[in-house]
Structure 1
Amino acid sequence: MNRLKKILKGKTTALFLVLLVFAYLNNSSHFAKARSGEPLLLAHRGLAQTFVMEGIANDTCTAERIYEPEHPYLENTIPAMEAAFEAGADIVELDIRPTKDGQFAVFHDWTLDCRTNAKGEPKLYTMAELKQFDIGYGYTADRGKTFPFRGKGIGGMPSLDEVLARFPAQSLLIHIKSNDPKEGEQLAQALAKLPEDRRNRLTVYGGDEPIASVKTHMPDIRVMSKATMKSCLLPYIAVGWTGYIPSACERTQLHIPEKIGPWLWGWPDRFLNRMDGADTRVIVVGGDGSEFSSGFDRAEDLARLPTHFTGGIWTNRIDRIAPVYHK
C-alpha cells in the first residue's frame, strides 16, 4: 500500500511539473512570436490641459487645479483633437453628453458648473445654447488668481456629429459618461447612419447598461465596459494559461492598468498576440486602475512599460509621448 502511495505521489508530482513547464513555455514572451511596429497611441480627450491627480474624487473640479498651461488647447474640442492627430495620435478619446434637443455634446463633466460660465447639466440645454457658453471660463493654475482661458472658449463645445464629420477617417474612442441605457440606444441610432468602414474605426465605452444597449442595437461595433472586461478577463485568468481565448474576448477593447498587466497569462507579447488574433485592442493605462485618467504623460513614464511594448498606450500628453516613437 505504501509503495502504491509513493507511485501515485510520484506520478502526481511528475504531472504537476509537466503542467508547470507547459504553462511556462506556453505563456513566456521569450518564446512568443516576435512583434514589430510601434505602440498604438491613444490621446485622452485630445491634447488637453493636465492637472494635479492627487486626491481627485468624482465631484472634483479639475479645471481649478491645472498645471501652468504649456499649450492653448482645451479638452474635447476639435482643435485639441486636430492637435492630437497632428502630433501622432492613432486614436482620440472623447466624452459625450446628451442635449435637450436630442444631440450629443462633446463634454466631460456631469454639469457645466466647473469649466463654463453656465450652470446645470448639458441635457438642460440645446446644442445651440451650449455653443454660447465659454468652456474655458473656469480654468485656473493659481487657485483663481488668473484664468488663462476665460473668454477664449465661447463656441468651443462641439457636437458629436461635428466631430465625426471633421474626422471621417480617424479612429475615435467615444465615452458615454453615464449608466443610462437610453443614451446607449440614442448613440447606436446615430452611429447606425454611418457607413460600415467608418463604424469599424469607432469604439464605444462607458457604463454597463448603455454599452449593453449599444451592443444590442449594433453588434458589429467594438465596445467596452466593466462588464465586458470582466466577462473576458476572469475566464482568461482561470484558463488562459492553456492558450484558450474566451469568446467574450473577441472584438472588444481592454484597458489594462500597468500594475495588473504582469499578472495576465502571457504578458506582454503572448497576451498581445492572442488578443490580436481575437481582433481585440489592448490599451495600457497608468497605475493600478484606481486613479482617474492616469496615463503615460512624460517620456520617462514609458520606462515603466515592458521593453519594446507594442500594445496601446493611454496618454494625456500626446505632444510629449508621440515624439518618442515618431522621430
Structure 2
Amino acid sequence: MLRLTRFLLIPLLLIGAVVLLLALTSKPASTPAVLDDLGQHPLVIAHRGGAGLWPENTLFAFERAAALGVDMLEMDLHLSRDARLVVIHDDTLERTTNGQGPVAQFNLAELQALDAGYQWTADGGQSYPYRGQGTRIATLEEVFQRLPLMPKVLDLKVPDVGMEAVLCEMLAAYDQLDRVIVGSFHERSLQRFRQLCPEVATSAGPISVRLLLALNWLGLSDVLSPSYSALQIPPQHSGLTLATPRLVRNAQTRGLHVQLWTINEQPEMRRLLEMGANGLITDYPDRALQLFGRSTQLGALPTD
C-alpha cells in the first residue's frame, strides 16, 4: 500500500511543481496600440461593416459604419487569382454578388466588374435596393486608402496561399501596423503571420481558444502566457456555452480583450456587457450604439 501511495504521489507532485512554475513565470498579454487608443469603454465592432444594414464587406458599408460612429470595422480577406487582397467573406461569389464560382479563380478586374450589392435584402427578398448602384468588391488597399485611421479587425479566410506575407507587407506600406487586429480560423496561417509581423496584434486561433477553455475549466488560467491580444468567440458554439463570467474574468486577467460575435439583439448585448465583455461584433452596430447611449445618426461621409 505504501509503495502504491508513493507511485501515485510522485507524479502528482511533479505535475504540481510544473503548474506552479508555469504560474510563476507566466505573463499576461500587453495591450496593443490599436486597443489602447480606443480607451476603456466597450467597443462596437461592425461585423463585415454592418451586414444587416448594407451590403457586407464593401466600401459603402465601411464608410457608413465609420460615419455612424463605430469603434472598429471587421472584414474578411481572400486572394484574387492575381494575388490581390480582396474583401469578401465566402470562398465563392454566389451569396453576395451576381457572379458565380470561387473567388480565387478570378483576377481583380473580373471581381470588381461584379455587383457586390446584388443579393442584399432587408425584407427576405421582396426588394434588392442596392442592385445596380455600382457597389463593388473592395480591395484591402482601397479600404486603407479611404479609411486610414479607422481601427480594423482582419480575418484571413484562406490558409496556405501566401496571404500572410502579402498582408504583412501591405500593413507596413500603409502605416496600418498599429491599427489592426488580425485573426483566422486557420491556426497555421495565424502562426505564420505572427512570425512575419510580430508587432501586429492578433486574436486567438482555434487551438488557442480550446486551450484557454480547457485551462479555465481546470482552474489553471494563471499558467497561460498568451501570444495574442484579443479573444474573439461566440457566446455559444455547438450547443456549448463558451462565454461565461468566469471565462471573461480569467481571460481579462491574462490581459485579453474579450470580443463576442455575432451579437445582433439588444437583450443579448446587454447581458454580455453585464458579464464584462470588452466589445460586441455585430451586424447591427446602430443597435449597440443605441444601447450605449451613443449617437446613431450618420455623420459626414467622405467624398470621392
SS of residue matched to 1:261: coil
* 1:90 aligned to which of 40, 62, 71: 71
Deviation per residue, 1:240-270 (Å, 9 max, x gap) = 36xx2511x2442212333322264xx54x4
TM-score, with structure 1 as normaliser = 0.68
- Structure number with greater CO (CA < 8 Å, separation at least 6) is 2
Contact 1:96 1:108 in 2 (8 A): yes
Confirm or deny that 1:47 pairs with 2:50. Answer: yes
Confirm or deny that 1:297 pairs with 2:272. Answer: no
Deviation per residue, 1:183-242 (Å, 9 max, x gap) = 2233223324343xx31221111111221211111112222321232344434543436x
* C-alpha separation in 2, matches of 1:82 and 1:219: 29
* 1:253 aligned to which of 212, 230, 243: 230
Contact 1:192 1:218 in 2 (8 A): no
Aligned residues: 249
In the TM superposition, what is the alpha-carbon distance from 1:136 to its structure 2 partner? 1.9
Partner of 2:198: 219
Partner of 2:41: 38
Q: Per the alignment, do residues 181 and 213 of structure 1 end up closer, same or farther by CA in structure 2, a change over 3 Å counting?
A: farther
1:94-133 mapped onto 2 (5 Å cutoff): 94-133=75-114
Percent identical among aligned pairs is 26
Q: Per the alignment, do residues 186 and 302 of structure 1 end up closer, same or farther by CA in structure 2, a change over 3 Å counting?
A: same
Confirm or deny that 1:179 pairs with 2:182. Answer: no
Partner of 1:315: 282
Confirm or deny that 1:201 pairs with 2:168. Answer: no
Confirm or deny that 1:324 pairs with 2:291. Answer: yes
TM-score, with structure 2 as normaliser = 0.72
* C-alpha separation in 2, matches of 1:146 and 1:256: 33
SS of residue matched to 2:214: helix
* C-alpha separation in 2, matches of 1:181 and 1:155: 27
Deviation per residue, 1:2-21 (Å, 9 max, x gap) = xxxxxxxxxxxxxxxxxxxx
* C-alpha separation in 2, matches of 1:320 and 1:141: 16
1:228-307 mapped onto 2 (5 Å cutoff): 228-240=208-220, 244-247=222-225, 249-258=226-235, 259-262=241-244, 264=246, 267-268=247-248, 270-271=249-250, 273-275=252-254, 278=255, 280-285=256-261, 295-305=262-272, 307=274
In the TM superposition, what is the alpha-carbon distance from 1:318 to its structure 2 partner? 0.1
Contact 1:236 1:245 in 2 (8 A): no
In the TM superposition, what is the alpha-carbon distance from 1:181 to its structure 2 partner? 5.0
Confirm or deny that 1:170 pairs with 2:150. Answer: yes
Q: Per the alignment, do residues 90 and 139 of structure 1 end up closer, same or farther by CA in structure 2, a change over 3 Å counting?
A: closer
Q: Which amino acid aligns with 1:100?
A: R
Q: Which amino acid aligns with 1:303?
A: R
Structure 2: any 5+ residue segments left out of the alignment?
1-38, 236-240, 295-304
Root-mean-square deviation (Å): 2.6
In the TM superposition, what is the alpha-carbon distance from 1:97 to its structure 2 partner? 1.2
Contact 1:38 1:325 in 2 (8 A): no
Q: Which amino acid aligns with 1:167?
A: L
Q: Which amino acid aligns with 1:246?
A: L
Q: Per the alignment, do residues 189 and 298 of structure 1 end up closer, same or farther by CA in structure 2, a change over 3 Å counting?
A: same
Deviation per residue, 1:264-309 (Å, 9 max, x gap) = 4xx54x436414xx3x321123xxxxxxxxx222323223225373
In the TM superposition, what is the alpha-carbon distance from 1:145 to its structure 2 partner? 5.4
* C-alpha separation in 2, matches of 1:200 and 1:236: 30
* 2:120 aligned to which of 130, 139, 148: 139
Q: Per the alignment, do residues 252 and 307 of structure 1 end up closer, same or farther by CA in structure 2, a change over 3 Å counting?
A: closer
Q: Per the alignment, do residues 44 and 271 of structure 1 end up closer, same or farther by CA in structure 2, a change over 3 Å counting?
A: same
* C-alpha separation in 2, matches of 1:112 and 1:193: 29
Q: Per the alignment, do residues 261 and 129 of structure 1 end up closer, same or farther by CA in structure 2, a change over 3 Å counting?
A: same
Confirm or deny that 1:80 pairs with 2:61. Answer: yes
* C-alpha separation in 1, matches of 2:128 and 2:273: 40
Contact 1:43 1:318 in 2 (8 A): yes
Q: Which amino acid aligns with 1:186?
A: V
Q: Which amino acid aligns with 2:259?
A: I
* C-alpha separation in 1, matches of 2:234 and 2:94: 31
Structure 1: any 5+ residue segments left out of the alignment?
1-35, 50-70, 286-294
